[in-house]
Amino acid sequence: MKSVLTVSYAALVLGVAAGPAFSAELPKSIAWTAYDVGSAGYNQAVSIGSALKNKSGVTLRVLPGKNDVSRMAPLREGKVHFSATGVGAMQAFEATDVFGTADWGPQKIMLLSMANADSCGTIASPGDAGIKTPADYKGKQLAWVKGAPSLNWNIHAVLRFADLTWDDVQKVEFAGYGAAMDSVAAGTTQGSFTVTTSGFATKIEASPHGVAYPVLAHSDEEGWKRLMEAAPYYYKAICKDGAGITEPFEGAAYPYPILTAYDTQDEDLTYAMTKAMYDHYPEYKDGAPGAYGWAMERQVFEWVLPFHPGAIRYYKEQGVWTPEIEAHNQMLLNRFQIIADAWEANKSAAADNGQGGAGWMQARVEALEAAGLNPIWRE
């Protein structure tokens, strides 16, 4: 799986009017959303912002969001240019869960670049909670973050490894990611989803309880089959980097954070942002845990979201965009069109059924299966 230009757009974010043309350069002010302060995505965005400021005089404003909706809404509304996000972008693309509502529907989100570090995306638990494998979560209290379907679905995926579901654990609801992670540090819950290099994982490690992560044995074929059916964006990984990791262990990972934009974002601006991510890589790669994962050689071009035309232009210039990658990108764009067409025909079902309502979800599943595609999300 791992396999000049003029920027012209109507207005900059935060009320700043469009300035003069830039030659493959970013404007002097750019804005992203990211997860909460202390998350891996936020910390890396700050490091990237520092490099942009020091080397190019570009100010990167990072707006933290406590969940997927609060990261996606400013992007949709044009208040930010890009979002350093996670799997929630895929769920918005696919119109599932909170994005399967009348207020949302399929969102044509596209990639610029991604981070693939030697960390893992997994459930962080108190070190004294007795968690060794996903099976140990049965009956335990796990954090459910409102408005954050990616976090909650990722816990579901880890539970599926042990043939468990949310029905087999105690769901404890939180308004935001930070509060959920703080509950693990306090020992009041036994797990919340995170990336092992996040600041919150470090905070849990420093607590009296310490931190622990479940091992997902790579030899457990049935466990991996169940996990991949639930979350095909994962891949097997050796977890080496992160809070409390003294010995590498077998786990799962996926690209995080991913830098995304709407398909409507200016192509030249998107090209310039993509180019800046690589031009400034030497300056920010050691600035935050896991930031080295943005390297060109760590990109996964055949993943679950399509790339933006502006980013594709840059990758073609670098000679890394192959016909096979282009075919995969077109497949994803075709998938989106199937979902979008089904949405147009079934919007009333979403309005009637509410969050990811059964009517819309059934129509979505039927449309994708009719095209011979895996719906992934069925509930």
Q: What would the pLDDT profile of 36-71 be if each residue is shown by its tens digit?
A: 888 889 999 999 999 999 999 999 999 999 888 999
> Which domain, by its residues, includes 40?
13-115+257-329
Band of the pLDDT at 148, cuts 50, 70, 90?
confident
Burial class (CB in 10 A: 0-12, 13-18, 19+), 300: middle
Cβ neighbors of 303 (< 8 A, separation 6 or more) are 1, 111, 114, 233, 255
pLDDT at 372 over 60: yes
Number of structural domains the chain divides into:
2
Residues 166, 109 within the same domain = no
Query: Of the residues 292, 313, 329, which one is the last residue of a structural domain?
Result: 329
Confidence of residue 344 (pLDDT cuts 50, 70, 90): very high
> Which pLDDT does position 359 carry in this prediction?
86
Mean pLDDT over residues 106-131, rounded? 97
Residue 73 within a domain: yes
Closest CA to 40 of 144, 178, 215: 178
Q: Is residue 16 over pLDDT 50?
A: no
- Given a cut of 90, whether residue 14 has pLDDT beyond it is no
Is residue 300 one of the residues assigned to a domain?
yes
Name the 3-class secondary structure at 35.
strand
The predicted-structure confidence for 261-286, as pLDDT tens digits, reads as follows: 999 999 999 999 999 999 999 999 99
* CATH code of the domain in which 297 resides: 3.40.190.10
